[in-house]
Structure 1
Amino acid sequence: MTDGQPGTDGRPVTDGTPVAATEEAGPADDAGSADDAGSIVEVEPDVQAEPAASAVPAAVGSERPSRRIGPLGVALAAVILLLACGLPAALVAGLVRAGDPPAPGASAAPPDDPATAAARRLGERMTAELARQSAALLGGDRAGFLAVAEPVAHPDLRRRYAALRALRVTAWQAGANGLPTPVEGRPGEWRLLVEFRYCFVTPDCRTSRVLTGTRWREGERPRLLAVEPSRSAETGTRPWEVSELAVAVGRRTLVATTPALRKELPGLLAQAEAAARVADTYAVGGRTPDRYRIFHAGRGEWQRWYGGGRPKWTGGYAVTVGGGHHEVVLNADGLVPGGVDDLLRHELTHAASLPERGYPGKGTWWLVEGLAEYAGADGEPIDRYAGLDEVRRLLGGWDGRLDSLSPADDAPADRVSGSYGVSYLAVRHLVDRFGPERLLAFFAAVVHERTPVDQAAERVLGEPWSALHDECVGYVRAVVG
């Protein structure tokens, strides 16, 4: 299910069948290799990884250099020579700036006051330590990853390292978000807000981001004391920040859960791979995710991951984490035999079809959820759809408007199931009338381009929305009698 903006909440469970959840879509090019299919990596936090050589980042976007050396080339050559002679870098930078022509109308920035300048220098040293830690993580060097921190931080960092390695982290960038600030009542301790950017499995994906607080002890080489779980309003705490993880990676999906539930990984991976093949067909513009990321949450993790606090009827949800990626969370307590496949198809379709910034609002909830439910049904006959009884009950108190179907967080499960069911039937009618390609084009116009529904209907479907809306509602009523 979707909650409409950065994250989405999942289907309720009615008569043993979860009702679907929504998430947002992301781009992707890498379909993976056959060697990835079905491989399982389990996290063992207490096992020391064999240190590997630190990776050296390659140049990105380099171009063939010009044969001609202009004034800029001469200046750069001078910088290199001065540095080689041992002149301090700060002085060299000042000399180069002094030779540059001033920008028109620009005035020199005021110098930092002494306290700000000291904080800036400290922040640069902290950032250097984070860069060393990032290289160690990507190089498989656990000892190097821990080396920047005091022993008090090691247990948490060992768990984070193991989880990220199991998730096959392929990019990890750490940058300061502002200057460090002193921790009140703790002389010599500082807090630095850090933005981490990461990729899993695929080497060259658009990175996802998470903003996290870190605490340090001041020194020539600052020492990391703690990394706080992120609490961003958009996404909340990531699973790898707070939990040990067991991970399985397939050709199109990554599935992670807790060690207590690791026995379920092989089955979940097979189901996720099958669901991904369906979801890929609903990718808007053909931009399928590089990997669908799925996290299977136990009872405790359901309350912690991504901030918890989901409506009681939620069986699963998807949340956007930046870079066009959506991470899907399944509620282990809400899953029943026979209900996982359609839930996965539903959620992964959200990941394939939704835009990164969320959908326009509650008025288009029916279209977002209806498409995911249609994918979840996967061509089954209408009479096998599990929510028809709930649709029938809903019609007695519904105002007949598709744009009013979005249920409240505290709505009873049967009301939620009925809303999903009406949405499914409305989308199914549009597919029957216009075919899946034109329906997806209509979806793209409304959800991605944010075109008003009436304008999108005229442009894409060639008919007035008022008439089509009434057709959809009439179809729903006819199906349930």
Structure 2
Amino acid sequence: MTDGLDEPRPRRLWPVWTALAVVVLLLTCGLPAVLVLGVLRERGDRAALAPVDAAADDPATRAGRDLADRMAAELDRQSDALLAGDRAGFLAIAEPAAHADLRRRFAALRALKVTTWRAEVTELPTAAPGRAGEWRLLVRYQYCFVVPGCRPSPLLIGTRWRATADRPRLLAVEESTSAETGTRPWEVSDLVVATGARTVVATTPALRGRLPGLLADAEAAATVADRYAPAGEIPDRYRVFYAGRAEWARWYGGGRPKWTGGYAVTVGGGHHEVVLNADGLTPAGQDDLLRHELTHAASLPDRGAPGKATWWLVEGLAEYAGADGQPVDRYGGLAEVRRLVQGGWTGRLDGIVPADDAPADQVAGSYGLGYLAVRHLVDRFGEERVLAFFAAVVRDRIPIGRAAEQVLGEPWPALHDECVDYVRALTS
């Protein structure tokens, strides 16, 4: 399903739960505290709360649903204001204490050329713990950047409100903290942005001077990465965020291994967002890293890579793209591969994932091993068949032995040993 600016407002999304406990404490509206147990079911053009018993007409249940609808209406107005570039309208639903955060979010989203922004209420509000008279509402936002009608990326964010007699007032928007992706850059940072034909790149104002070179390298890398996307699934825009030291520790949850120079994280809707670590990244290495990470964004499925056993294949393909057709003997990590191979490597491709605290040369050797294995397969079977093999293993989750037989026509144990022999011959 595609979504664009001219599509009708989506219906409210009341989830189907087998049982729901809703604590309705509408003190500011003068209603008593009531506990209602019920189930949700579809009815008409939106889902309705259906109680288990005679509480169908309970006033607290209706009040809770009405409050959710009124909050949703405020969020709809705010979404329209964002897309129209109306900052005053975007702030209008909130109390002044929330304006500074909302102004920053508005500026960052507008700089990223937001084209779709929808706020979907997925449940009833609950009393905010320890905050008398306040309510917490989880909101599912869906967004697109640059391209109207893209398949949107979803994001679940908590919001806090105060219910007043006329209309609810937004008090705060929380940071998203999902285990899968963590906090997005535009939630917490001021951003400056540059947009090209295939990429959108963003960084902080302090690193504004890096944007022209970053955009040029990203655009060049995108033309390479496009070759590794499945047919019909080339990203509409590659999203690249260039992180300073503080941002690296905060964006998308931080906590990456010390040796990480960049990563691609899935954000749903068929999109991966790429983050580069400004610390220690030189202009000379930026283009290689961008080709590597954008190839992840192009080739990986929404659910990410299968796991450690196929790490060599995922990273090997990205390294192959990063090398961009250069001869094997010019690959920058050959010396590190040699040290790793001669330092007691087990000879198994499925055991080369570097530890989080691994030294830099071991990390480079592990990536290089993956590159050489993929390079051998490409030399043997050609890019098209190797990409089909990659898709079978990484995207379709077909066991590697069966995928090798089906796609490459040969048993995997023999091919694995060929890859190992190739690596050893190059590094002996």
1:176-187 aligned at under 5 Å gives the runs 176-187=121-132
Confirm or deny that 1:158 pairs with 2:107. no
- Given the alignment, which residue of 63, 75, 91 partners 1:118? 63
- Given the alignment, which residue of 308, 317, 320 partners 1:371? 317
Confirm or deny that 1:409 pairs with 2:359. no
For 1:260, the equivalent position in structure 2 comes to 206
Q: Distance in 2 between matches of 1:336 and 1:251?
A: 24
For 2:37, the equivalent position in structure 1 comes to none
| SS of aligned partner of 1:347 | helix
- Given the alignment, which residue of 231, 237, 254 partners 2:183? 237
Unpaired segments of 5 or more residues in structure 2?
11-42, 45-51
Shift of 1:384: 1.7
Amino acid at match of 1:389: A
Q: Distance in 2 between matches of 1:463 and 1:109?
A: 66
Q: Distance in 2 between matches of 1:460 and 1:117?
A: 58
| SS of aligned partner of 2:372 | helix
Higher RCO (CA < 8 A, seq sep 6+): 1
Amino acid at match of 1:261: L
Confirm or deny that 1:141 pairs with 2:83. no
| SS of aligned partner of 1:330 | strand
For 1:336, the equivalent position in structure 2 comes to 282
Deviations 1:204-253 (A, max 9, x none): 11110111111111113111111011101110000000000000000000
Q: Distance in 1 between matches of 2:53 and 2:294?
A: 52
Q: Distance in 2 between matches of 1:242 and 1:298?
A: 13
1:60–1:463 distance in 2 versus 1, CA, 3 Å: farther
| SS of aligned partner of 2:274 | strand
For 1:345, the equivalent position in structure 2 comes to 291
For 1:67, the equivalent position in structure 2 comes to none
1:428–1:112 distance in 2 versus 1, CA, 3 Å: farther
Q: Distance in 1 between matches of 2:326 and 2:53?
A: 68
Shift of 1:185: 3.3
1:206-355 aligned at under 5 Å gives the runs 206-219=151-164, 220-355=166-301
- Given the alignment, which residue of 408, 426, 430 partners 2:373? 426
Higher strand share: 2
Shift of 1:414: 1.6
| SS of aligned partner of 1:196 | strand
Shift of 1:316: 0.4
1:477–1:197 distance in 2 versus 1, CA, 3 Å: same
For 1:456, the equivalent position in structure 2 comes to 403
Shift of 1:114: 3.9
Q: Distance in 2 between matches of 1:175 and 1:388?
A: 51
Shift of 1:285: 2.4
- Given the alignment, which residue of 129, 132, 137 partners 1:192? 137
Unpaired segments of 5 or more residues in structure 1?
1-26, 29-54, 62-96, 99-106
1:32-71 aligned at under 5 Å gives the runs 57-59=6-8
2:5–2:149 contact (8 Å) kept in structure 1: no
2:5–2:116 contact (8 Å) kept in structure 1: no
Deviations 1:323-350 (A, max 9, x none): 0000000000030131001100000001
- Given the alignment, which residue of 346, 354, 357 partners 1:399? 346
Amino acid at match of 1:370: G
Q: Distance in 2 between matches of 1:222 and 1:440?
A: 53
2:5–2:115 contact (8 Å) kept in structure 1: no
Amino acid at match of 1:405: I
Amino acid at match of 2:397: R
Amino acid at match of 1:394: L
Amino acid at match of 1:242: V
| SS of aligned partner of 2:118 | strand
1:250–1:56 distance in 2 versus 1, CA, 3 Å: closer
Of 115-124 and 359-368, the range deviating more from structure 2: 115-124
Shift of 1:177: 2.8
Q: Distance in 2 between matches of 1:110 and 1:362?
A: 52
| SS of aligned partner of 1:304 | helix
2:5–2:148 contact (8 Å) kept in structure 1: no
Amino acid at match of 1:425: L
Moved over 6 A (4+): none
Shift of 1:110: 5.7
For 2:394, the equivalent position in structure 1 comes to 447
- How many residue pairs align between the two structures? 386
| SS of aligned partner of 1:397 | coil
Deviations 1:247-296 (A, max 9, x none): 00000000000011111111100000000000001112242100000000
Q: Distance in 2 between matches of 1:109 and 1:350?
A: 54
Identity of aligned residues (%): 73
1:141–1:444 distance in 2 versus 1, CA, 3 Å: same
Deviations 1:8-37 (A, max 9, x none): xxxxxxxxxxxxxxxxxxx99xxxxxxxxx
Shift of 1:113: 4.3
1:109–1:309 distance in 2 versus 1, CA, 3 Å: farther
| SS of aligned partner of 1:192 | strand
For 2:308, the equivalent position in structure 1 comes to 362
Q: Distance in 2 between matches of 1:57 and 1:430?
A: 47
| SS of aligned partner of 1:198 | strand
For 2:28, the equivalent position in structure 1 comes to none
Q: Distance in 1 between matches of 2:240 and 2:57?
A: 46
Cα RMSD of the aligned pairs, angstroms, is: 2.0
1:360–1:109 distance in 2 versus 1, CA, 3 Å: farther
| SS of aligned partner of 2:56 | coil
Deviations 1:283-316 (A, max 9, x none): 1224210000000001110011000010000000
In the superposition, the TM-score normalised over structure 2's length comes to 0.87
Amino acid at match of 1:211: L
